[in-house]
């Protein structure tokens, strides 16, 4: 469904992504794990065309999207839940969700998807008239995910969904990720909590300083001694 080929990305003189290649098959959860600064978020931003690649290609459903602008990428079925939630704090929960459907014109479908989001996130239904900036961190994460779902994505890019959340909220967020996946959405998950990511994923790639240093079935990475020592031993 999604294939990244020999991707190189620079921040000025800094070579952040150094020839990364990976693929995401339809209907799967694929996780990119690695420490801070490994390049995980940069890869997602490049897929969404928030950052330009200097070399390589990104194929979605067999066609290059490397030069496709960000809103067209959303139109084609790729939604991005950024690190740090990035909700619109001065808009209500409902208005934030409606912003997720800004490229759509099908009012009945939008209403149907809004109900689906509220079923996934009952807390958002309770707070739909509340300003997003007054929500807790966990609620803002739910809102960011719900907003992404409003574009009716075929694949969702999730960037550090558990960051800064209490353990009980992390459990809830990962339960909802599993629900979204089971409802038919393919997921590319970037997550510093490697243990949680690999337990929910089908396949994983390990990044270190802008390179893929290991890959395999998630269940195999969970028992890989090098992965355990570097990312799972804490």
Clarify whether residues 145 and 94 are in a common domain. yes
Clarify whether residues 95 and 73 are in a common domain. no
Distance CA 159, CA 188 (A): 9
Clarify whether residues 55 and 160 are in a common domain. yes
Which band of pLDDT confidence, cut at 50, 70 and 90, is reported for residue 168? Answer: confident
- Provide the 3-class DSSP secondary structure of residue 153: coil
pLDDT at 162: 86
Residue 83 CB coordination number (10 Å): 18
Q: Is residue 178 part of a domain?
A: no
Q: Is residue 99 part of a domain?
A: yes
Clarify whether residues 134 and 165 are in a common domain. no
Beta strand 186-190 with 14-24 is: unpaired
55 forms beta bridges with 8
Clarify whether residues 93 and 35 are in a common domain. no
Expressed as residue numbers, the domain containing 23 is 1-77+155-173+184-234
Q: Look at the block and give the residue holding tokens 């693929």.
A: 23
Per-residue pLDDT tens digits for 193-233: 899 999 999 999 999 999 999 999 999 999 999 889 888 76
Residue 161 and residue 191 in contact, taking contact as beta carbons nearer than 8 Å: yes
Which band of pLDDT confidence, cut at 50, 70 and 90, is reported for residue 164? Answer: confident
Q: Is residue 179 part of a domain?
A: no
Clarify whether residues 10 and 59 are in a common domain. yes
pLDDT at 233: 65
Clarify whether residues 72 and 167 are in a common domain. yes
Clarify whether residues 163 and 232 are in a common domain. yes
User: What is the rounded end-to-end Cα distance, in angstroms, of the chain?
Assistant: 34
Mean pLDDT of the chain: 92
Q: Is residue 37 part of a domain?
A: yes
Clarify whether residues 160 and 146 are in a common domain. no
Q: Is residue 144 part of a domain?
A: yes
- Residue 234, pLDDT above cutoff 60: no
Distance CA 214, CA 226 (A): 9
176: Cα separation from own chain's centroid: 13
Clarify whether residues 159 and 147 are in a common domain. no
Q: Is residue 38 part of a domain?
A: yes
Clarify whether residues 108 and 123 are in a common domain. yes
Burial of 216 (0-12, 13-18, 19+ CB in 10 A): middle
Q: Is residue 40 part of a domain?
A: yes
DSSP state string for 84-96? T----TTSBHHHH
pTM comes to: 0.91
Q: Is residue 161 part of a domain?
A: yes
Clarify whether residues 8 and 52 are in a common domain. yes
Q: How many domains does the chain have?
A: 2
| Radius of gyration of the chain from its Cα atoms, rounded to whole angstroms | 17
7 forms beta bridges with 20
Q: What is the CATH number of the domain that holds 168?
A: 3.40.50.300
What are the b/e assignments for 140-176, b being 16+ CB within 10 Å? Answer: bbbbbbbbbbbbbbbbbbbbbbbeebeeebbebbbeb
160: Cα separation from own chain's centroid: 7
């Amino acid at each position: 469904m999604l294939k990244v080929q020999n991707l190189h990305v620079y921040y000025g003189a800094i070579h952040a992504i150094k020839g990364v290649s990976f693929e995401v098959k339809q209907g799967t959860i694929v996780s990119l794990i690695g420490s801070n600064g490994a390049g995980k978020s940069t890869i997602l931003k490049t897929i969404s065309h928030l950052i330009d690649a200097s070399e390589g290609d990104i194929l979605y459903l067999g066609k290059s999207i490397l030069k496709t602008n960000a809103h067209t990428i959303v139109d084609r079925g790729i939604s991005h839940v950024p690190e740090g939630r990035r909700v619109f704090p001065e808009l209500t929960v409902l208005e934030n969700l409606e912003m997720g459907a800004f490229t759509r014109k099908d009012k009945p479908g939008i209403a149907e998807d809004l109900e689906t989001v509220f079923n996934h996130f009952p807390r958002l239904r309770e707070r739909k008239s509340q300003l997003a900036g007054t929500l807790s961190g966990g609620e803002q994460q739910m809102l960011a995910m719900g907003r992404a779902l409003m574009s009716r994505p075929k694949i969702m890019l999730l960037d550090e969904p558990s960051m800064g959340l209490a353990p009980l909220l992390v459990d809830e967020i990962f339960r909802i990720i599993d629900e979204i996946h089971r409802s038919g959405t393919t997921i590319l998950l970037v997550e510093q909590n490697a243990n949680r990511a690999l337990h929910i994923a089908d396949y994983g790639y390990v990044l270190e300083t802008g390179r893929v240093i290991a890959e395999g079935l998630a269940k195999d990475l969970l028992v890989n001694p090098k992965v355990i020592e570097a990312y799972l031993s804490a």
